[in-house]
Amino acid sequence: MTYPVTATNSQHRICNHCLDRKPVEDFRLRYRNQPLRLSQCRACHNRVERERRAAHRQKMTRRELAKALTKVKNQRSDLQVKALCREMVERFGGLKGITEAWGRSLDQDLGRGGYAAFRHLEAILRLTQYCEHNRPDYGAMTDEELEMAIGELGGQLESP
């Protein structure tokens, strides 16, 4: 709910969310060039928006994950598999996000059975093929090359 700023409430107002009395400047304008302001203070509004975006990211995971897994299993090019994996990790908020979403989806689909569960297994097989095909020969590397490879792996695990 929004209220126009009038002479009676021009100095302070009460946030409908935290119920604190704050200066009017702590409330966002509803529209540019108009005196209407939101009923939540900036701090409450920002917190609610962060929570809403986080909930939205988790809600969209199931359907997007199903589409992504189908794409992964159908890709013939290793470069395309790598790009899809990178996109999935980014979309689901990092490696932890994708593994949690995939685990939840796999549990549900295995309980139901059928093609949905089979799609997970096909995607896992395709990712395994990609990893085996692109695995470096660590035995043939020098100590410096091994250190560089370990450093690259550490950077990949830490980045989202």
Neighbours of 69 (CB within 10 A): 25
Q: Domain residue spans in the chain?
A: 3-53, 60-158
Structure-derived torsion over alpha carbons of residues 25, 27, 30, 34, reported in degrees to the nearest 10:
-20
Structure-derived torsion over alpha carbons of residues 107, 110, 112, 117, reported in degrees to the nearest 10:
120
pTM: 0.41
Q: For 6-24, write each residue's pLDDT tens digit.
A: 444 468 999 998 899 999 9
pLDDT confidence bin for 69, thresholds 50/70/90: confident
For the chain, what percent of residues have pLDDT higher than 90? Answer: 11
Mean pLDDT of 73-82: 77
* Angle at the Cα of 28 from the Cα atoms of 19 and 56, rounded to 5 degrees: 85
Ranges 6-10, 30-34, 40-44, 57-61, most confident: 40-44
Candidate from 53-57, 59-63, 122-126 with smallest mean pLDDT: 59-63
Q: 3-class SS at 37?
A: strand
Q: How far apart are CA 80 and CA 9, in angstroms?
A: 59
Structure confidence at residue 8 (pLDDT): 47
For domain 3-53, the CATH architecture is 2-Layer Sandwich (3.30)
**What region does 139 belong to: left with phi over 0, alpha with psi -120 to 50, or beta?**
alpha
31 or 129: which carries more pLDDT confidence?
A: 31
Q: 3-class SS at 41?
A: strand
How is 82-140 classified by DSSP, letter by letter? Answer: HHHHHHHHHHTTSHHHHHHHHHHHHHHHHHH-SHHHHHHHHHHHHHHHHHHHT---GGG
Return the amino acid letter for 158: E
Does 63 have pLDDT greater than 80? no
Query: What residues form DSSP beta bridges with 41?
Result: 27
Structure confidence at residue 75 (pLDDT): 75
Does 85 have pLDDT greater than 60? yes
Structure confidence at residue 10 (pLDDT): 66
